[in-house]
Structure 1
Amino acid sequence: MKKFLIYGVITIGVLAFIVWKLNANKTANVAKTEFVKQSNTGDVPVLVEKVAKVEFDQSFQANGNFEPIRELTFMSEISGRITKLNVDEGSHVSTGQVIGRVDDQIINTELQQAKVNLEQLRVDKNRYENAFKTGGVTQKQLDDTRLQYDLAVARIEAAQRRVNDTYIKAPISGVINKKYVEVGAYLSPGTKLYDIVDVSKLKLTVSVPEAQVITLKNGDKVNVTTNVYPETNYTGTISFIPAKGDATLNYPVQMEVSNVSGKTLKAGMYGTAHFGLPQMESTILVARSAFVGGVNSNQVYVLENNTAKLRKVVAGKIFGDKVEIREGLAEGETVITSGQINLVDGSKVTIQQPAGK
């Protein structure tokens, strides 16, 4: 019982100390604020700007690297020894073009055997069908013969497919970027043969901020330039806008870019996408530095008769170092853009000229 009373007294004492400390800190903070207000012997120097409506150009540009529209590592589907290669690194190939051969002697032999077997089964099937009409064989015997015949047909189709696979054909159009095998090499299923890159069109992926991505849609045309051919404009078509942005609130927008004859771009080159968007209606834009503690605070200091007045505003889109103001400011007012760290609501200020003026 004594322990319980002791613990209770200690707990009450600790709580009372915490409450006292919080009140003391609050009193000290209020005192400091009042000190700042009253102890300044001179006005606080600040920089300001006039609030005005402007017509803002929404056009922007973003950079990225070109990627091939399609690329794949082509692998063998059969086993066998390579007898011929028709292309080398740098060769242009078309879909379905024969680019190599694999030894087909054994596979062709298997195909011929399957054809002979099928012919024999065809004869047996016809004989059994005629015999069945006269009662010479049972229904089961006839069904078994027909089944063997159908299986033989399937084996021929499989053998023919293996023969066809000895002709190595390009699965896509493009350029042979890398060759992994030579004539005489033995292939197994999954052996790498070629890297094929299709650069008839290129992909350009650029990061677009959230404020601009909402103005874009699939199919929009985009002007694309590059340092390699600065005099040439390429046409990009937006093909993909992700539904989710990254941690920095940027969205990797992807576009297809058509190459220009004689000035062909290569994968890995650097490109710039120029997004030409409609001009915004007149709106109020203020310097990003005008916000107290950052744009998310939605607070700025407004100059009134050489006095700083804290004002609540509603911030909109961010355009570089400018922020759209949707509510809270009127055209012609003056906002403080520098020196807020020394201000409290009601501080007297003096306007300074920016450096260099």
Structure 2
Amino acid sequence: MKRIIIAVLVVIVTIGAIALVLTNNKKKNAAKTAFIAEGGGAVAVRVANVEKKIVDLDFSSNGTFAPKQELNFLSENAGRVSKIFVDEGDRVSVGQVLARIDAEIINTDRETAEATYQNALRDEARYKSSYATGGVTQQQLDQAKLVTQNAKLRLQASQRKLSDANIKSPINGIINKRYIEVGAFVNTQGTQMFEIVDVSKLKLKVNVNESQVANLKIGDKIEIKSSVFPTEKFNGKITFIAAKADASLNFPIEVEVDNNTKKSLRAGMYGTAVFNFPKQAPSILVPRSSFVGSVSSNQVFVVDQATNTSKLRKVVAGRILGDAVEILEGLNEGESVITSGQINLAEGTPISIVK
């Protein structure tokens, strides 16, 4: 019995839902019919007045700060770490010694290379003397010179390795991470030793759309805001504008930001780039929906006030500013453009304006 009652209730609810959907559809169709009927036999359209407006190009875009320079410092020589002179958070400069690798083996190689080079120099001198008296041939002398040159190159390489035993910072920055300890062994495969970041300047990466990127160029000065430091001012300049849009049809932009003397900003924080432009002269703007087909068609329908008919007008479109389009030629203030119903229009079609 209970199952029968539940089944009856489900059927009643289903019938009620269907009736509700049919009623809503009937109301929508009635509204469409009323819209067409308002035209009184003419095509019902909506219009917008053609007028000059001040174009506001200012906009802002949010992004994330990244360090201007970031380096994962790897070992170049094999050996055991004998000393470490810096720790995480320390500020370092170019050429500063960060750590030292045990140079005993490296120094032995350099001494061997030095001895080999000196011996090659003496042999070359003897060959030159013998060649002057006819004791050796030109080929033997050239071979001795080649041996000396190779020995010199090996000596230079060993001296470079000995110099590299002192691990020096290649950039100015802050030790963000230290990966080694005294006694640790590093190898020539490139053991990670330090992560160094330079936050004296930062990069703010933001995205802009096609209408915004058209007004930007490399070197433009940009105001930067940070919600973490709302009272501090930061300045930046555009250093990169992508030549190609990404998958979302936006253009990546990079703004180089001068960190203040307090070095308040840190990589990974959020920032806002504020793009301010000089005040623009008023321009004729029309809704984007005014165009027949698309903006690229450069055609709109205007209202002929005398005959109350539609007239096809050729125009020259300028900038696309959101839902509005700048008109450079073809329209005058005071005219009216048709913004809906163009699909039913042709030259001279009677129209009825629906408010």
* TM superposition score category, shorter chain reference: 0.7 to 0.9
**2:254 matched to which residue of 1?**
254
* TM-score (structure 2 length as normaliser): 0.76
- 2:62 matched to 1:63? yes
C-alpha change, 1:47 and 1:228, in structure 2 (3 Å) is farther
| Residue type at the aligned position of 1:157 | Q
**1:54 matched to which residue of 2?**
53
C-alpha change, 1:118 and 1:90, in structure 2 (3 Å) is same
C-alpha change, 1:201 and 1:216, in structure 2 (3 Å) is same
Question: Does the CA-based 8 Å contact 1:306-1:349 persist in structure 2?
Answer: no
Distance 1:39 1:202 in 2: 59
Residue 91 of structure 1: how far off its partner (Å): 1.9
**1:134 matched to which residue of 2?**
133
For 1:231-310, list aligned pairs within 5 A. Answer: 231-262=231-262, 264-288=264-288, 299=300, 302=303, 304=305, 309=310
Identity across aligned pairs (percent)? 46
C-alpha change, 1:115 and 1:247, in structure 2 (3 Å) is closer
Question: Does the CA-based 8 Å contact 2:54-2:281 persist in structure 1?
Answer: yes
Residue 116 of structure 1: how far off its partner (Å): 2.3
Question: Does the CA-based 8 Å contact 1:306-1:348 persist in structure 2?
Answer: no
Structure 1 gap segments, 5+ residues each = 1-34, 352-357
**1:220 matched to which residue of 2?**
220
Moved more, 94-103 or 142-151: 142-151
CA deviation digits over 1:42-80, x for unaligned, max 9? 779987643211232322222221111111221111211
Query: Root-mean-square deviation (CA), in Å?
Result: 3.3
**1:11 matched to which residue of 2?**
none
Distance 2:78 2:250 in 1: 48
- 2:160 matched to 1:158? no
| Residue type at the aligned position of 1:251 | F
**1:202 matched to which residue of 2?**
202
CA deviation digits over 1:198-227, x for unaligned, max 9? 111111222223223233222221122121
Distance 1:38 1:157 in 2: 90
Question: Does the CA-based 8 Å contact 2:38-2:352 persist in structure 1?
Answer: no
- 2:352 matched to 1:348? yes
Residue 323 of structure 1: how far off its partner (Å): 2.4
Structure 2 counterpart SS, 1:143:
helix
Distance 1:221 1:41 in 2: 54
Distance 1:288 1:94 in 2: 56
C-alpha change, 1:321 and 1:263, in structure 2 (3 Å) is farther
C-alpha change, 1:179 and 1:150, in structure 2 (3 Å) is same
Residue 252 of structure 1: how far off its partner (Å): 1.6
Structure 1 counterpart SS, 2:109:
helix
Structure 2 counterpart SS, 1:65:
strand
| Residue type at the aligned position of 2:320 | I
Structure 2 counterpart SS, 1:227:
coil
Question: Does the CA-based 8 Å contact 2:222-2:238 persist in structure 1?
Answer: yes
Residue 281 of structure 1: how far off its partner (Å): 2.8
Distance 2:63 2:218 in 1: 18
Moved more, 141-150 or 67-76: 141-150
Distance 2:60 2:304 in 1: 36
CA deviation digits over 1:10-30, x for unaligned, max 9? xxxxxxxxxxxxxxxxxxxxx
CA deviation digits over 1:153-200, x for unaligned, max 9? 222111111111111111222122222222222212222222221111
Distance 1:311 1:89 in 2: 71
- 2:119 matched to 1:145? no
Question: Does the CA-based 8 Å contact 2:44-2:341 persist in structure 1?
Answer: no
How many residue pairs align between the two structures? 316
C-alpha change, 1:131 and 1:212, in structure 2 (3 Å) is same
- 2:37 matched to 1:40? yes
- 2:174 matched to 1:175? yes
Distance 2:83 2:279 in 1: 61
| Residue type at the aligned position of 1:106 | I
**2:327 matched to which residue of 1?**
325
Residue 258 of structure 1: how far off its partner (Å): 0.8
Moved more, 244-253 or 61-70: 244-253
| Residue type at the aligned position of 2:107 | N
Distance 1:91 1:50 in 2: 65
Question: Does the CA-based 8 Å contact 2:44-2:352 persist in structure 1?
Answer: no
Structure 1 counterpart SS, 2:71:
strand
Distance 1:61 1:103 in 2: 54
| Residue type at the aligned position of 2:238 | I
Structure 2 gap segments, 5+ residues each = 1-31
